[in-house]
Amino acid sequence: MPYKRFAEAITMTSKKYKIAYNKKRSGWAEDIFKWEHTIQTGVPIDLRGFNTSYLVLQAMTMWGNDRQMKFVGDAKIFRRNFVIDLLSYEDNSCRYVIPANIQQRLIDIAKKD
């Protein structure tokens, strides 16, 4: 079973999800288990499960500003891009304390892709 290492996390997530669902707002009778799940066009699917949470964040950003997202299969490039995106994120409160030469280096690295 390829997802055996995630079994405990999946079980805990399921339990917490059910607890949260049972604490729903009164008057809300909609069964969220019956919701239809769709995948937006242009969003890559990571069948190996390595980039999933980062892809969710990227997809949320993409939907907010209509930017096309690139899927990175190489783990080294993926980690590098993650750090660059994290450091250069507009709402990162620490973004402006990064020295100017480091900021410029991040811009140069990002342009290489």
SS3 per-residue string spanning 38-96: CCCCCCCCCCCCCCHHHHHHHHHHHHHHCCCCCCCCCHHHHHHHHHHHHHHCCCCCCHH
Q: Residue 75: what pLDDT?
A: 66
Q: Residue 58: what pLDDT?
A: 65
Tell me the whole-structure pTM to 2 decimals: 0.33
Top-confidence residue, 24 or 37:
37
Please determine, for residue 28, whether its predicted confidence score (pLDDT) is greater than 60: yes
- pLDDT above 90 covers what percent of the chain? 0
pLDDT digits (tens, 9 = 90+) for 64-75: 565 555 666 666
